[in-house]
Structures are given as structure tokens and as C-alpha cells.
Amino acid sequence: MTASFSLRGVNKQYGKGATAVHALSDVSVDIQDGELLMLVGPSGSGKSTLLNILGGLDHATSGEVRFRDALLTAMSDRDLTAYRRRHVGFIFQFYNLIPSLTAHENVDLVREIADNPLSAADALALVGLTGRMDHFPAQLSGGEQQRVAVARAIAKRPAILLCDEPTGALDLQTGAQVLEALSEINRLYKSTTLIITHNADIARMGARVVRFADGRVREIETNATPAKPFELVW
């Protein structure tokens, strides 16, 4: 297996001097292509910070982040935009759909900037939303909105899928549907998938689980047999 990401001595510091916050301290980790990786840890431990750096939304203060052969930490804003555009799919806790576009159009949006995208209909079919294509976000439930966000993220067949607490605002049943879709995509398209969660059970889904504390990687567990989303008992 080839390494998708490799991180060496990554630091992220907010502020300076006495009030400085070390959001990430000396993080070094390799993530394999096509891997389903779970990020867990207490609030404020640096999970989102890491995800944002990997997604090219934020810069590390020091250290190296490599995506395949490219050094993300050396990229300009413009290059990072191009990187996000080509390779990254995001899913957030609050969906972040464009309210003025229908489900279908929200997915179509990213197809405008992708090389070899899925059709919006296929992407929505993957998350089980074929019947709601022409609804606006305001007409969809939270779970449905999140599944549109998933469809939007996967439509461009991203090499990397970054999910920050994708089920944080959902009930169990709905959350399971979303996770099901994510693992399905990981299986079908071999997208490297990173999911942040506070839920220990959900974490069992991943082949590996990276545990954070105080901005450091505390331990990395390996699951020989990752659980299926619907087997998870919450």
C-alpha cells in the first residue's frame, strides 16, 4: 500500500507568547491510500485542526505534510485551492449546503470543478436520496441534508474524504445511514477517508483509530475486523 498522507513533526500554534495555544504538537503519522481512519479524542485535542490542515484550509506552523508527492506545507493559497478542488471532499457537522440550490444542484455544483465526476443522480442514489433531488435544503431533514453533503463530497470521486463529526447533529438511525454511505464509498472508490467522532462505538468502524490528546497522537489502534455501521450498538 502507498502512503496517501505522511506527516512529520507537524505543529500548529495559535497566538504567541504566554497566551499561545499549541493545537498540534509534533504530530507524525502516515495514512495509507484508501484507508478508513477514525480520529478520536477529547474536545480541544486538535482533531479539527489536523483535518483542516490536511484539507488545505489551514497552514501548519511548522513540520511537513505530504500528499502523495506534493508538499502541502509549501503550497500557496492558490495551489491549496487547486488541491482541494482536485482531490478533497469535505463533510461537516453543519452540512454547509447552499440554501439557494436544490439537492441536485448542490451536488452539481462540485461537478463544475471536477475532472471525472459522478452524475449528481448517481451520487444522490448512493446516499439513497433519489426521490428528493429537486428539494431545497430548507425542505430536507437534517439527516437528508447531511446525505446531500455526502453526495456533494463524493460526486467528484475525491482521493480524500474528510469528515468532521458528520453525525454530530443527527440521531442514531440517521447517523448510521450517513456512515453507511461513507463506508460504502470508501469501499467502492477507495477514497482515503478520515472521520472525526466523539463516539467510541462509531470509532470501531475504522481500520485504524488515531487517539488524540493535548494536540498529540496518544495511540493508534488497529481493528482487524472493522464494524459495519448498522452493527454498531450505540
In the complex, the smallest distance separating the C-beta of residue 164 from Mg ion, rounded to whole angstroms, is 6
**Contact window for ligand ATP (CB under 6 A) among 44-52, 67-75, 110-118, 181-189:** 44-52
**What stretches of the chain show up as alpha helix (H) in DSSP?**
47-54, 77-87, 103-111, 120-126, 142-154, 172-189, 200-203
- Torsion 216-28-33-108 (CA) sign: positive
Cβ pair 187, 29 in contact under 8 A: no
The residue among 99 and 131 lying less far from other proteins, judged by its C-beta, is: 99
Q: Binder to other proteins among 15, 17, 76, 138 (CB under 8 A)?
A: 138
Judged by CB under 8 A, the residue of 137, 166, 215, 226 near other proteins is: 137
Number of residues binding to other proteins, judged by CB under 8 A: 35
Rounded distance between C-alpha atoms, residue 190 and residue 5, angstroms: 14
For 11, residues 6+ apart whose C-beta sits below 8 A from its C-beta are 22, 24, 25, 26, 27, 60, 61, 62, 63
By CB under 5 A, tell whether 48 contacts Mg ion: yes
- The residue among 52 and 73 lying less far from Mg ion, judged by its C-beta, is 52
Q: Which of 23, 120, 163, 232 binds ligand ATP (CB under 6 A)?
A: 23
- Sequence-separated (6 or more) residues with CB below 8 Å from residue 86: 114, 115, 159
Residue 43, classed as helix, strand or coil, is coil
Beta bridge partners of 233: none
In contact, 128 and 177? CB cutoff 8 Å: yes
With binding defined as CB under 8 A, does residue 84 bind other proteins? Answer: yes
Query: Looking at 14-22, 61-69, 113-121, 153-161, which segment touches ligand ATP (CB under 6 A)?
Result: 14-22
Under the criterion CB under 8 A, does residue 82 sit at the interface with other proteins? yes
In the complex, what is the shortest distance from the CB of residue 175 to other proteins, in angstroms, rounded to a whole number? 17
Choose the stretch contacting ligand ATP; rule: CB under 6 A; options: 26-34, 40-48, 65-73, 153-161: 40-48
Q: Applying CB under 8 A, which part among 24-32, 76-84, 121-129, 174-182 lies near other proteins?
A: 76-84
Torsions phi, psi of 149, nearest 5? -60, -40
Which residues would be at the binding site for other proteins (CB under 8 A)?
Answer: 48, 52, 55, 57-58, 78, 81-82, 84-86, 88, 90, 92-94, 96-101, 105, 108-110, 112-113, 135-139, 152, 164
